[in-house]
Chains A and B, each alone.
Chain A
Amino acid sequence: MYALVDCNSFFASCEQVFRPDLRGLPLVVLSNNDGCIVARSKEAKALGIPDLEPYFKQKALLEKNGVHVFSSNYELYGDLSSRVMTTLEGFSPDIEIYSIDEAFLSLKGLGVDLPEYGHLIKNTVYKHTGMPVGVGIAATKTLAKLASHIAKKSAKCDYVCAIVDVAAWSAVFRKIPVNKIWGIGRRLTKQLADNRIYSVYDLMKQDARQMRRRYSVNVARTIDELNGIECYGLEQAPEPKKQIFSTRSFGQKIMDCTELEQSVSQYATRACVKLRQQKHLVKTVSVFASSGHFVEQPYSRSMVIKLPIATNDTRQIITLARHAIRNGIFRKGVRFARAGVGLIELQPERPEQLDAFSSEQPLRSKQLMGVMDSINKRHCPIVFASQGLQQNWKMNRNLKSPAYTTRWEDLPRIKT
């Protein structure tokens, strides 16, 4: 059994955690340098504001409807993400951080009432962090993803959906288009339509072996997964991820700083390989480590670091990750059970898609050393990260919310 926990309109919800006045209002978040709309609150979706559209094209519509517009604030998103993930670690000893706003939890052998557990997860995450989430529970990761889709769409579900008996869901599956399935992209959707496969139900009734010959092994696996036969364990997926997280639980607890540094170096290396395969550069990195929840004094720390210039150079990410461990995350006496590196803000490698600030040459070693030196000099690398940010975001600072949780001068003000 797997649970997929997925934050509702994550970036938009992050903007509402410290702004109760904005909850329930239409709100959008823009990509790098305010290029595109990348997140919409439920209310903004209801207004018909399209996703992934250039901001300038939608500006008039947004203004007319009084939609609140924010530039992306990756320090805030990274910090809230790690709070959500840490909270989720309390619900399963086996979790996979799938993206900045999604995690798979293995529920194997927990012996819990599934819908009830789903509601407990949802309510706890909201209470502890302020982040609204949906929970989908099912026998396979593909079905869990589908369940989380249903959880959000159907008002009856109240953001929690457990698919226990697949056969009982036929009527619902007939109504869900095939492109809502994990790993079924646009091209495949078209090909499937040519063979009159339109809905989730249509696909799950196909013969997996035949479909393997006709399409690919991934399509066959998806069919199996839809029928409750597990093909993807934790850390396995049919498609590239939106953010790249490389994280693992240790076989043996780590108490030594150098060892912890070595482990994150490994994860950084793995993440960078995927990054280059996807032909992307990374702009914001998060590094984290924790003792796991199932100990007497749980300890967990994360750090979000913004690079002055986007990179795909493994060495640079390793150096950053090790500095984060040494100068902030590691703590003497803590038995670390888990660590990881997340590449959370990605941008395409191709220069024509880059923005004005990052269209420069790849990060030069001199600048890198500058980055490292500042981290060394300060006992608080986060302060450094936010300063790097100030230079990089000159153009659109007016739309960016404060780094409420990572910068002293940005703490939320509360009226007394």
Chain B
Amino acid sequence: MLIRLLSSKIKLPFFSSKVAAGFPSPADDYVEKGLNLDELLIQHPASTYLAKASGDSMTGCGIFNDDILIIDRSLTPLHGDIVIAAIDGELTCKFLNLRLKQLLSANQRYPPIHINAETDLIIEGVVISSIRRHK
């Protein structure tokens, strides 16, 4: 599972008790395991998939070309979520607007996609984070 890779190099020891003069706190024996990005970004490893964004229709919400999307399939898509949808067999990333029954881009140049009974659409998962590399 590649999810683990996110954090393989980070080891930031982290002390949970305040530093005090005099007797050391017994809690200092318990050095925390370090920060782990998996823990922050992934709740359900077995149902979480990574993908790469391709395009500029979601730049308004901070998802740019080549960003990494973290997708949890186990979540039930809610109104306002950023979702991965398969439309006519193609995977796409959009805002889900349940009230208007639309998939919306975060870029004015892209018109909304109306969802009706004839649309061949499956919601594959919910985008819970996106990652952008700055260097």
Q: What's the least CB distance linking B11 to chain A, in Å?
A: 10
Chain A residues contacting B5 (CB-CB under 8 Å) are: 380, 382, 408
- Say whether A413 contacts B1, CB under 8 Å: no
Query: For chain A, which range describes its interface: under 10, 10 to 19, 20 to 34, or 35 or more residues?
Result: 35 or more
B1-33 vs A, CB cutoff 8 Å, 1 = contact: the mask equals: 110110011000000000000000000000001
Interface residues of B in 70-127 (CB under 8 A from A): 73-74, 84, 86, 88-94, 105, 122, 124
Q: Does A127 contact B (CB under 8 A)?
A: yes
- Say whether B1 contacts A415, CB under 8 Å: no
What separation, in Å, do the CA atoms of A144 and B88 have in the docked complex? 37
- Say whether A412 contacts B4, CB under 8 Å: no
Chain A residues contacting B89 (CB-CB under 8 Å) are: 19-23
Q: Does A301 contact B (CB under 8 A)?
A: yes
- Say whether A413 contacts B54, CB under 8 Å: yes
- Say whether A129 contacts B1, CB under 8 Å: no
| A contact patch SS | mixed
- Say whether B46 contacts A413, CB under 8 Å: no
Q: Does A238 contact B (CB under 8 A)?
A: no
- Say whether B92 contacts A407, CB under 8 Å: no
- Say whether A414 contacts B45, CB under 8 Å: no
What separation, in Å, do the CA atoms of A127 and B46 have in the docked complex? 11
Known: A83-B47, A415-B55. A303 touches B122 (CB 8 A): no
- Say whether B91 contacts A87, CB under 8 Å: no
Q: What's the least CB distance linking A287 to chain B, in Å?
A: 11
Q: What's the least CB distance linking B34 to chain A, in Å?
A: 8
Q: What's the least CB distance linking A404 to chain B, in Å?
A: 8
Chain A residues contacting B91 (CB-CB under 8 Å) are: 18, 20, 412-415
Q: Does B52 contact A (CB under 8 A)?
A: yes
Chain B residues contacting A406 (CB-CB under 8 Å) are: 1-2
Closest Cβ neighbor of B63 among chain A residues:
A416
Q: What's the least CB distance linking B22 to chain A, in Å?
A: 29
- Say whether A87 contacts B86, CB under 8 Å: no
- Say whether A21 contacts B47, CB under 8 Å: no
- Say whether B90 contacts A21, CB under 8 Å: yes
Q: Does B53 contact A (CB under 8 A)?
A: yes
Q: Does A266 contact B (CB under 8 A)?
A: no
A373-396 vs B, CB cutoff 8 Å, 1 = contact: the mask equals: 000000110100000000000000
Q: Does B51 contact A (CB under 8 A)?
A: yes
Q: Does A130 contact B (CB under 8 A)?
A: yes
- 15 intermolecular pairs with C-beta atoms under 8 Å apart: A20-B86, A23-B89, A83-B46, A86-B46, A128-B74, A130-B124, A380-B5, A382-B2, A405-B2, A405-B49, A407-B2, A414-B53, A414-B54, A416-B54, A416-B93
B residues sitting closer than 8 Å to A (CB atoms) are 1-2, 4-5, 8-9, 33-34, 36, 44-47, 49-58, 63, 65, 68-69, 73-74, 84, 86, 88-94, 105, 122, 124
A residues sitting closer than 8 Å to B (CB atoms) are 18-23, 79, 82-83, 86-87, 127-130, 299-303, 328, 331-333, 379-380, 382, 404-408, 411-416
Q: A127-B47, A331-B36 are in contact. List 19 more A-B contacts (CB 8 A).
A: A20-B86, A79-B1, A83-B46, A86-B46, A128-B73, A301-B1, A328-B4, A331-B33, A332-B34, A405-B50, A408-B2, A412-B51, A412-B52, A414-B51, A414-B53, A414-B92, A415-B54, A415-B55, A415-B91
